[in-house]
Amino acid sequence: MIKKAINDPKNVVQEMIEGFLALYPGKFKQIGNFSAIVKTKLESDKVGLLVGGGSGHEPIFLEYIGKGYPDAVAQGHIFAAPSPDIILAATKAIDRGRGVLYVYGNYEGDNLNFDMGAELAELEGVETATVRVYDDVASAPLDRITDRRGIAGDFFVIKIAGAACDSGLSLEEVKRVTEKARDNTRTMGVAFYPGTIPGEDTPAFTLADDEIEIGLGLHGEPGVRRGKMAPADELVDEMMGLIIDDLPYKTGDEVCLLINSFGSTTRMEEMIVLRRAIQNLVKMGIKVYNAEAGAYATCQEMAGFSVTLMRLDNELKNYFDWPVWSPVYKNQAA
């Protein structure tokens, strides 16, 4: 059996939200009985920012809320997009008359539910705009980029969107800036062990002892290719080659780097991988403006990691440096 610290699997999302709210008393609150949370104090006269997706990937999206960050988060059941009713409730909770931007990973479920949420919001007089994140290089060829999945690249795209909203830009402008962040972001992942849906006894996929899954999805859905386990440096070199050729990132570019681990990969491994990723970038003459390593988007106890790059220009740099405080991420400026 799979051992997890849960009660009735049906209650995992609500019980998680209750625990999260208790960690930050007074800062956030649940929206009615919906599995959505909102900042207690909303800054006035700004475009609202709503993010969301299936639960089970914490800290994303639950903890991506704060100052210079999203105003509300809509959580679905485990690995399932939030329903339009949850999205509508969150949209209404954060609209200050200037509209609401939706940022989420590009999956059929999220697209369908957020689109229907947007339709319902429009009926109630709230204008919305949408940026879907599709950073996963492994999930479709470049000529079908809008078929790609959103994975750890959410981290950068949400950072930029939060700053753009906080700076007071219009809905149209925050959408433009957020799309620019998305279009300059690429990710590639590799899985060593699968994760399991709480309450289920069968993992989402199985791997032989010496096998790894290249290009897996963040829901544990199978990836694009299986290979043999290899030293960290070889894995990083292969993954970065695919990322760099895809945009492509070039000598002289400035990038933010994220090493994201999927749940049970250790801090030690994050550091080893980060070190090699930076060696690769230095060798190519690509400047690392900022590097982060941590578990920012996970899949339960799945093991493995992803490498994400976001290419910066002056505008994106400004929003990347913008003050942010959130449970999951904060910077010096805040």
Shortest spacing between CB 197 and another protein, in angstroms:
6
Give first-to-last CA distance, the chain, whole Å.
44
Hey, which residues between 40 and 79 contact another protein (CB under 8 A)? 54, 76-79
From the candidates 219, 259, 260, 300, give the one annotated as an active-site residue: 219
- The answer to whether 136 and 189 have CB atoms below 8 angstroms apart is yes
Count residues near another protein (CB under 8 A): 38
Shortest spacing between CB 214 and another protein, in angstroms:
11
Q: Give the per-residue contact string, 184-213, with another protein (x = CB under 8 A; - = no).
A: -------------x-xx-x-xx--------
Q: Which two tokens stand for residue 118?
A: 């947007």
Q: Does position 94 bind another protein by CB under 8 A?
A: no
Catalytic site residue 57?
yes
Radius of gyration of the chain (CA): 19
Q: Which two tokens stand for residue 20?
A: 């999260």
Instruction: Out of 91, 106, 113, 280, point to the residue binding another protein (CB under 8 A).
Output: 113
Catalytic site residue 77?
no
- The answer to whether 150 and 135 have CB atoms below 8 angstroms apart is yes
| 325 DSSP β-pair partners | 67, 330
DSSP helix/strand/coil, 137: helix
Q: Whole-angstrom Cα distance, residue 128 to residue 139?
A: 28
Q: Does position 82 bind another protein by CB under 8 A?
A: yes
Shortest spacing between CB 222 and another protein, in angstroms:
6
| Environment class of 333 (CB within 10 Å of its CB; exposed 0-12, middle 13-18, buried 19+) | exposed
Q: Does position 98 bind another protein by CB under 8 A?
A: no
Q: Whole-angstrom Cα distance, residue 95 to residue 82?
A: 19
Between 146 and 251, CB nearer to another protein: 146
Q: Does position 21 bind another protein by CB under 8 A?
A: no
Q: Give the residue numbers marked as catalytic.
A: 57, 219
Q: Give residues in contact with another protein (CB under 8 A).
A: 54, 76-86, 107-109, 112-113, 115-116, 138-140, 147, 149, 197, 199-200, 202, 204-205, 215, 217, 219-224
